[in-house]
Amino acid sequence: MPDPTNPGRQATLKVYRGTKEKGEFQSYKVPVEAGMVVLDAIHYIQQNFDPELGVRWNCKAAKCGSCSAEVNGMPSLMCKSRMDQFKHDEEICVQPLKTFPIIKDLVTDVSWNYEVNKKITPFSPSPDADWTIYQEDIERVQEFRKCIECFLCQNVCHVLRDHERKDNFMGPRFMVRVAGLEMHPLDEANRLKYLKDEGHIGYCNITKCCTEVCPEDIHITDNAIIPLKERVVDEFYDPLGKFIRGLLGGNKKKTIAAQAQPVSITPSK
């Protein structure tokens, strides 16, 4: 079915072909159908010109987070990138995520993310927890659990992308994961020391690039990172407040729930 606004339209895609060491952009002409997305165009190339073109994808419905790439410089899911957002004569450049080493073509090595995930203390409820939980108590946790692990936030984070601190920084994806655990009403573990000393949450200077690219519209910076930064500050940089809270006898979760409005944060180094 041709594009009704421009029947017979052919789009030109420039796709990165190659490995980490060596590669180049190759141009392909692809007929455009109505409602087509960039991933459809990539599949067309694969089926008709280059069966060996490497690309990851699964659901084609923005649910699995596999087909992340940079489309005309914009980190996005190819399955959500409509072809009709581009001008008719515009070349569409598709390249792999910059932050991760290229394996081949559009496929990058994202295994580092899985290693970071292993270090996070898992969900730890008390054995005698009361599992009566109200919807209002889990709304914010459910937001974090929408994450489809497309790693676009990791890809655009300056600390990872420009400063290449994968050795020393967990990245927004895993701050979202930690937030989902820390804010679970029945979780009893404390991950603040990890956030500070290993995840180095302080490196984040809240430029919100991660939030902008999130295909699930998770408010990564405002709802996950900033509240976690506040908790870290309270725990490690506010001894008086901690002492008073201790006197009041609040346990970890209740203490946090009782905190007042967010305060402005100066990112620590």
Partner 1 sequence: MTEYETREHDVLVIGAGGAGLRAAIEASGQGVSVGLVCKSLLGKAHTVMAEGGVAAALANVDPKDGWQTHFKDTMNGGKMLNNWRMAQLHAQEAPDRVKELERWGAVFDRTKDGKILQRAFGGHTWKRLCHVGDRTGLEMIRTLQDRGVHQGIEVYMECTITELIKDGDKIAGAFGYYREDGRYILFKAKAIVLATGGTGKAYTITSNSWEYTGDGQGLAYDAGAELIDMEFIQFHPTGMVWPPGVRGILVTEGVRGEGGILRNSLGERFMFKYLPEATRNDYAADEAEAVTWVNAALAGNRTEARRPPELSTRDNVARAIYTEVKEGRGSPHGGVFLDISYQDSERVKKKLPSMYHQFKDLADVDITAGPMEVGPTMHYTMGGIRVDAETQMTRVPGLFAAGECSGGMHGANRLGGNSLSDLVVFGKRAGAAAADYAKTVPSSLKIDDKYVKAAIAEMEEPFLRKDGKNPYDVHKELNKIMGTYVGIFREESELAIGVAKLEELKEEIKKAGAKGSKAFNPGWHMCRDLRNMMICSEAIARSALSRKESRGAHSRLDFPNTEKEWGTKNSSCSKDENGNMKLEHTPLPEMPQDLKEIFVKKEPVNA
For partner 1, the binding residues (CB under 8 A) are 1, 19, 33-37, 40, 46-48, 51-66, 80, 82, 103-105, 107, 109-111, 114, 117-118, 122-123, 125, 131-135, 138, 141-142, 145-149, 181, 184
Shortest separation between residue 54's beta carbon and partner 1, angstroms: 4
Q: Locate the DSSP E strands across 19-148.
A: 23-31, 68-71, 74-77, 91-95, 102-104, 107-108
Shortest separation between residue 98's beta carbon and partner 1, angstroms: 18
In this complex, which beta carbon is closest to partner 1, that of residue 73 or of residue 127?
A: 127
Shortest separation between residue 76's beta carbon and partner 1, angstroms: 11
In this complex, which beta carbon is closest to partner 1, that of residue 84 or of residue 234?
A: 84
Which of 186, 185, 170 lies closest to 225 in space, CA to CA? 170
In this complex, which beta carbon is closest to partner 1, that of residue 242 or of residue 252?
A: 252
What are 29's two structure tokens?
A: 């002409």
In this complex, which beta carbon is closest to partner 1, that of residue 29 or of residue 146?
A: 146
In this complex, which beta carbon is closest to partner 1, that of residue 19 or of residue 205?
A: 19
Distance CA 122, CA 143 (A): 18
Which of 96, 100, 99, 59 lies closest to 80 in space, CA to CA? 59
- Burial-class residue 94 by CB neighbours within 10 Å (0-12, 13-18, 19+): buried
Shortest separation between residue 86's beta carbon and partner 1, angstroms: 15
Q: What is the length of the chain?
A: 269
In this complex, which beta carbon is closest to partner 1, that of residue 151 or of residue 203?
A: 151
State whether the Cα torsion 235-238-239-242 is positive or negative. Answer: negative
Shortest separation between residue 125's beta carbon and partner 1, angstroms: 7
Quote the Cα angle for 90-94-95, to 5°. Answer: 145
Terminus-to-terminus CA distance in the chain, angstroms? 55
What are 181's two structure tokens?
A: 């655990």
In this complex, which beta carbon is closest to partner 1, that of residue 146 or of residue 254?
A: 146
Beta-bridge mates of residue 18: 23
Shortest separation between residue 109's beta carbon and partner 1, angstroms: 8
Shortest separation between residue 70's beta carbon and partner 1, angstroms: 18
